[in-house]
């Protein structure tokens, strides 16, 4: 028996330096789309290519090591120190200790943490915002060409979230990385996206630039625009 289709006719591309934001309500299939890209799920039909190669022809474990993945609940290994967590993929790839350490130090500082202060701590001794910074550092550690971010900043206070978003833009530029970023926060989508793909129950409702998004009249786009305080977009346009 064929199961229910979670995604249908979903098609998009993302280049290095760009961010495709998947915007949709809960249950619209955003996480499923990310899981298809790193092959924690396999699509029943269709094709996904990275650098021109069909991912079904790649070893799933190597594929996952070549992609930086950040999930909302951090996904840090609780018994490992911050430095061990950040160095997870470099270690699996066989990097020398010195190189791993240099990389961890550089990245932790780049995401706004003091290496000396945090590198020996275990995750339970970090705040939520600090954990999320470690998760971002870990995603970037092995210099991936592609990042998959699944509502990474949703649980952070608005000021920390803003800081992380700004840092994300800096890191995207610095590492010239392609990214697929899931959110249901419209302001976050507008701030980070080079393109926004709007998902409606597993289908692509629209794929537009942030500038075009605010003129959309499609149902899901409208319902997201309706969440903004009245007059905000008019004020932005002034
Ligand atoms: N392993 C699974 N088996 C069966 N159905 C699943 C599975 N994972 C997710 N689903 C269903 O697929 C749909 C899309 O789920 P998905 O997790 O991709 O949504 P989402 O857009 O990420 O939602 P949220 O914003 O709440 O995280 C939902 O209806 C969900 O119940
Ligand atoms: Mg999800």
Residue 183, ligand 1, Cβ within 6 A: no
How much distance in Å is there from the Cα of 216 to the middle of ligand 1? 25
Q: Check residue 233 and give its pLDDT.
A: 66
CB distance 31 to ligand 1 below 6 Å: yes
Closest protein CA for atom 8 of ligand 1:
32
**Candidates 29, 42, 154: which one to mutate for ligand 1, based on the most atoms within 8 Å of Cβ?**
29
Query: Cα(218)–Cα(224) distance, rounded to whole angstroms?
Result: 10
Q: Which atom of ligand 1 is nearest to the CA of 184?
A: 25
- pLDDT of 231: 65
Predicted TM-score (pTM) of this structure: 0.93
What's the confidence (pLDDT) of residue 234?
65
| pLDDT score for 74 | 81
The Å distance, Cα 119 to ligand 1 centre, comes to: 35
Task: Specify the pLDDT at position 143.
Answer: 92
- pLDDT on residue 228: 87
Residue 237: its pLDDT value, please?
A: 56
Tell the residue nearest (CA) to atom 31 of ligand 1. Answer: 27
Q: Is 123 in the pocket of ligand 1 (CB under 6 A)?
A: no
So what's the pLDDT on residue 202? 95
Residue nearest to atom 6 of ligand 1 (CA): 6
Q: What is the pLDDT of residue 215?
A: 93
Q: What is the pLDDT along the chain (238 residues), one digit of tens a residue?
A: 467 889 998 999 999 999 999 999 999 999 999 999 999 999 899 999 999 999 999 999 999 999 999 987 888 999 999 999 999 999 999 999 999 999 999 999 999 999 999 999 999 999 999 999 999 999 999 999 999 999 999 888 999 999 999 999 999 999 999 999 999 999 999 999 999 999 999 999 999 999 999 999 999 999 999 988 876 666 555 5
């Amino acid at each position: 028996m064929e199961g229910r289709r979670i995604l249908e006719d979903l098609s998009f591309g993302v280049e290095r330096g760009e961010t495709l934001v998947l915007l949709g309500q809960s249950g619209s299939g955003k996480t499923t789309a990310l899981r298809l890209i790193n092959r924690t799920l396999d699509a029943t039909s269709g094709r996904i290519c990275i650098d021109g190669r069909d991912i079904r022809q790649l070893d799933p474990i190597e594929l996952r090591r070549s992609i930086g993945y950040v999930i909302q609940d951090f996904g840090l290994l609780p018994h490992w120190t911050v430095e061990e967590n950040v160095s997870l993929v470099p270690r699996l790839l066989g990097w020398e200790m010195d190189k791993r350490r240099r990389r961890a130090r550089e990245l932790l500082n780049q995401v706004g943490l003091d290496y000396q202060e945090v590198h020996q701590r275990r995750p339970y001794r970090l705040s939520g915002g600090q954990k999320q910074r470690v998760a971002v550092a870990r995603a970037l550690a092995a210099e991936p060409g592609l990042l998959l971010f699944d509502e990474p900043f949703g649980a952070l206070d608005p000021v920390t979230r803003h800081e992380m978003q700004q840092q994300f833009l800096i890191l995207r530029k610095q590492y010239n990385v392609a990214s697929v970023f899931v959110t249901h926060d419209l302001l976050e989508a507008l701030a980070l996206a080079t393109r926004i793909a709007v998902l409606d129950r597993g289908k692509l409702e629209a794929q537009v630039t942030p500038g075009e998004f605010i003129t959309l009249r499609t149902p899901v786009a409208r319902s997201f625009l309706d969440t903004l305080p009245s007059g905000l977009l008019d004020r932005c346009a002034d």
